[in-house]
């Protein structure tokens, strides 16, 4: 083989190799497989980009709605928050009869049923004034 081939000879040999029918027959499925793999990869990248964009958009909408709800309180919200009692019914604990009677000196009061409901009756007016002062009319 000659070590120094001129450009024309190289080009002629290359054209002859590329025109070979066996090469074309082998190259066609290879090319089709390569293009299919390329298209799958592009489709996967597009899906990944689209889903990432959708995720970012969803997070932004969620954050905006969260912070929008925590905005500056209107005067009506401030007024209504002041009127709410600190002990809502869900936080109240009911006392049993014995626990209620134990809060007062022994023998100073009794539980009696009046008109179908239980009432605490004090036996001494002085004790009643001591414990119920400022609670309003009965």
Closest CA to 108 of 94, 120, 95: 120
Alpha-carbon gap, residue 30 to 7, rounded angstroms = 29
pLDDT in tens, the chain (138 residues): 555 667 777 777 777 766 666 666 677 777 888 888 888 999 999 999 999 999 999 999 988 888 876 655 555 555 555 555 555 556 677 888 888 888 888 888 898 888 988 888 888 888 888 887 756 555
Written as six digits, the tokens of 120 are: 């605490």
What does the pLDDT read at residue 68? 78
What does the pLDDT read at residue 13? 74
Written as six digits, the tokens of 9 are: 């000879």
What does the pLDDT read at residue 51? 94
Residue in the block written with tokens 């414990």: 131
């Amino acid at each position: 083989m000659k070590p120094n081939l001129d450009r024309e000879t190289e080009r002629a040999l290359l054209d002859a190799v590329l025109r070979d029918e066996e090469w074309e027959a082998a190259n066609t499925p290879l090319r089709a497989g390569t293009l299919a793999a390329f298209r799958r990869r592009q489709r996967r990248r597009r899906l990944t980009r689209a889903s990432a964009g959708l995720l970012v958009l969803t997070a932004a909408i969620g954050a905006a709605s969260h912070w929008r709800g925590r905005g500056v309180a209107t005067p009506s919200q401030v007024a209504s928050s002041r009127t709410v009692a600190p002990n809502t019914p869900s936080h109240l604990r009911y006392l049993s009869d014995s626990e209620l009677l134990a809060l007062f000196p022994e023998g100073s009061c009794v539980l009696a049923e009046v008109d179908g409901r239980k009432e605490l009756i004090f036996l001494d007016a002085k004790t009643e004034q001591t414990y119920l002062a400022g609670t309003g009319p009965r």
